[in-house]
């Protein structure tokens, strides 16, 4: 589709992040095709679908069936959006990740000899939980309170840092998705194994939507340019503060 008008935008030339914001339901399509709309949200659709096996025309057809005026499942204003992110995503990650780690340890132990056992998954989930916790604390203690006060000249720094850490979460998520083999279960998988993979799939969906809402919806309301001055101490890691 090359047409560019207000009603029929050139979706192929838009970034995945822009499409995800513009079209409710687009994120589910992107997930189905393995397109990264959160950390990789800056890629244009026609560039993002160059991977083998992905058909631009098919994705475009599905996107064009979506209604840009359909209700969104998140609020528009920054304070309400922050509340939504905290309740729907921060609390959910904190509640579900410890259970997933325990479940992964059990499946790895009981099925250690199985050729499809997700060995190493519990360690990867634990590392993800630690990184996420440190990241969410920074948002809750520093960035979100700054945002609740409104626009601030120094806000670009913590936003840039959080975007960088989101990229790290994306790397960790790819590691987790590799270890659980994209959720493909053996025919003889037990209930725990099935529950583990269902939980990891939900975690991945939640984490991508969480990062998408911050990168593509919340952060652009406050800063669009990279900072040029030093980061405030509250956003640094202990090692960075010591150095």
Residue ranges in contact with Fe ion by CB under 5 A: 139, 214
Which CB sits closer to Fe ion, 65 or 137? 137
Which CB sits closer to Fe ion, 57 or 205? 205
Contacts of 198 by beta carbon, 8 Å cutoff, 6+ apart: none
CA-to-CA dists, residue 77 to 21, 81, 175, 215, angstroms: 14, 6, 34, 15
Which CB sits closer to Fe ion, 24 or 170? 170
Shortest spacing between CB 71 and Fe ion, in angstroms = 23
CA-to-CA dists, residue 49 to 12, 15, 59, 106, angstroms: 9, 11, 9, 37
Shortest spacing between CB 82 and Fe ion, in angstroms = 9
Rg, the chain, Cα only: 19
Shortest spacing between CB 14 and Fe ion, in angstroms = 23
Which CB sits closer to Fe ion, 106 or 163? 163
Please list the residues that pair with 15 across neighbouring strands: 44
Shortest spacing between CB 13 and Fe ion, in angstroms = 28
Token code pair at residue 105 = 């340890």
- Closest among 120, 124, 152, 155 to 139, alpha carbons compared: 155
Residue 63 contacts residue 23 (beta carbons within 8 Å): yes
Which CB sits closer to Fe ion, 15 or 216? 216
Shortest spacing between CB 170 and Fe ion, in angstroms = 11
Residue 224 contacts residue 163 (beta carbons within 8 Å): no
């Amino acid at each position: 589709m090359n047409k560019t008008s207000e009603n029929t935008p050139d979706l192929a030339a838009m970034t995945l992040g822009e499409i995800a914001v513009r079209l409710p339901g687009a994120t589910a399509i992107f997930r189905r095709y393995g397109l990264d709309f959160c950390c990789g949200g800056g890629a244009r659709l026609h560039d993002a679908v160059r991977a083998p096996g992905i058909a631009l025309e098919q994705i475009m057809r599905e996107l064009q069936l979506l209604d840009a005026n359909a209700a969104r499942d998140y609020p528009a204003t920054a304070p309400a959006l922050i509340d939504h992110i905290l309740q729907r995503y921060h609390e959910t990650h904190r509640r579900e990740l410890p259970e997933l780690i325990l479940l992964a340890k059990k499946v790895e132990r009981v099925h250690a000899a199985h050729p499809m056992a997700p060995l190493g998954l519990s360690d990867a989930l634990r590392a993800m939980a630690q990184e996420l916790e440190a990241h969410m604390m920074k948002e809750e203690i520093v960035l979100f309170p700054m945002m609740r006060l409104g626009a601030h000249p120094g806000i670009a720094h913590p936003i840039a840092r959080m975007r960088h850490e989101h990229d790290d979460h994306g790397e960790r998520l790819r590691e987790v998705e590799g270890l659980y083999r994209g959720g493909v279960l053996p025919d003889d998988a037990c209930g725990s194994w099935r529950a583990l993979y269902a939980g990891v799939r939900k975690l991945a969906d939640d984490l991508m939507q969480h990062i998408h809402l911050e990168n593509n919806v919340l952060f652009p309301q406050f800063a669009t340019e990279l900072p040029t001055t030093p980061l405030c101490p509250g956003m640094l890691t202990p090692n960075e503060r010591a150095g």
